[in-house]
Each structure stands twice: as structure tokens, then as C-alpha cells.
Structure 1
Amino acid sequence: MRTRPVLIFDGDCGFCTTSVGVAQRLVRPRCDAVAWQRADLASLGVTAERAHHEVLWVTPTGRVYGGAQAVAKILLSAGGVWSVVGAVLSLPPLRWAARAVYRLVADNRGRLPGGTAACAVPGAKPHGT
């Protein structure tokens, strides 16, 4: 049984990998971070499709949070001022805004610094449409 949450991210995406590295250095979330390509997804209760679509936070009890909710959980786990930011991002209407911003970033991660063609999310609308 796991005793720490697991942060699942897209290890093939340079933007995602860099973002997780920065978060680990600056925010210091209390979790184990693993690229979904190297994770035992079945034991974590997630699919490859979902893991490719968004960052995931899996609690030790198996509850899965995705996207902006996962980011809020990352911040909450860090404690201090970060947990205040995570708590605020969990409350409506900021939760709704965070979800929209997260989706915008995730759908365009291939265009962001460090992003590559491998970062493109299947089904995302092309820029400008």
C-alpha cells in the first residue's frame, strides 16, 4: 500500500517534465512524481488516455484528481503559503477559472517553451480555430 500521493505527468512532454521539475524544486510537494509512461497505471487506477490528457494526483487511498484539481492538490501538499494558494484554487469561482486556464495551457503545451510535437494532446483544437 502506498503511503504518499503519486503525481503522474507526461514524461514525453518537455514542458510537462520541466514544470514538474520546477515544482519539485520550488514548491516541494509531498508526493512521488512519475511519468505515466513508466508508471503502473492499472495499479494507480488510471488509464493511459487520461494520463496523456492531464496531470494526475493519486492519493494513497486511490482517489484520482486531474488537471487543475491535481495542481491544487500539489500546492496543498507542500504546506505553508503554497497550501493557501492550493486552497484558494479549490474554491469556486477560482476553481472554474483554474480549470479553464489549465485546459488552455494543456491543450497548447506543444507551443510552450520546452514543448515538442510529442506534447500535443490528441483532439485539441488547433491554434486560431
Structure 2
Amino acid sequence: MGRPVLLYDGDCGFCTTSVGFLERHIPTTAEVTPYQFADLKALGTTAARADREVLWVEEDRIFGGAQAIARLLIDARGPWRPLGLLIRVPPFRWLAAGVYHLVTVNRHRLPGGTPACALPAADRPGSGKATG
């Protein structure tokens, strides 16, 4: 693995909209890919974790949630880098984690979100795993 990988939930409208913003405005060296199309075992993670939070995967470490976003911003350099560095230190680290949590539990209500974003991955329409 040469470059980092940013994994996101490709079934979530809010997540996909956020990645669109990222691709337009935040330069990164990372491979940005939906976790549903990634070799999670080779990356050292699971679908359950990737469904729960965005992941930044490096060769020897995985960062999740707000710390994955911090790594992304640091990688982007320029004006994004100081923000990423700030998110890594308390009390900003704690604040970022709280904001990230609020976003994840409300992503179906945010721009680009759909009601399906509120469902666990296995229960989303088209997953083929719904037990409903």
C-alpha cells in the first residue's frame, strides 16, 4: 500500500455528497473509495467499522471518525493542514469527536442525506441482506 486510503459509506447520500465536496475543494494524495468496493481485509478493517465511521488507512495505522478527517486535512496541506493539526490536540480533539458524532447520528437529515442513511448497512434498500 503506497498511499493512504479514505474509506466512506458509498450507500449514504450525505457521505457521497461530502466526498464530492472533498474531491472539488480538498486536494489529497489518498485513494478515496466507498468501503463497499474496497478489500477491507487487506486494509485491516471490517465492514462494521467502516459503516460506523469514515476511515483513513495508512500502511501501519487506521484512524476513524474525526481523526480520519484530521488526517485528510493534514494530507491536503495548504490552508487545510493547520485545521487538521488543530483537530488532533485536546480540547479541539474532543470537540471534533463530538461534532463528528452529531453528524453521524443525523446524517440522514443533512444535505444529501436520505432516510436510508439512518439504517444500518444490512437494512438499506438494495443491500440484499435486509431481514425485514
TM-score (norm 2): 0.87
Native 8 Å contact 1:52 1:121 kept in 2: no
CA distance in 2, matches of 1:88, 1:21: 24
Which residue is 2:12 aligned to?
A: 13
The 10-residue stretch of structure 1 (9-18 or 108-117) with the greater mean CA deviation from structure 2: 108-117
Q: Counterpart of 1:95 in structure 2: which amino acid? A: R
CA distance in 1, matches of 2:105, 2:65: 11
Q: Which runs of 5+ in 1 are unaligned?
A: 123-129
Native 8 Å contact 1:5 1:31 kept in 2: yes
RMSD of aligned C-alpha atoms?
Answer: 1.0
* Paired residues for 1:2-81 under 5 Å: 2-59=1-58, 61-81=59-79
Q: Counterpart of 2:14 in structure 1: which amino acid? A: F
- Secondary structure of the corresponding residue to residue 29 of structure 2: coil
CA distance in 2, matches of 1:111, 1:62: 35
User: How many residue pairs align between the two structures?
Assistant: 120
Alpha-carbon distance, 1:13 to partner? 0.5
CA distance in 2, matches of 1:24, 1:9: 13
Query: Structure 1 residue runs of 4+, over 2 Å off?
Result: none
Q: Which runs of 5+ in 2 are unaligned?
A: 121-132
Alpha-carbon distance, 1:118 to partner? 2.2
Identity %: 54
TM-score (norm 1): 0.89
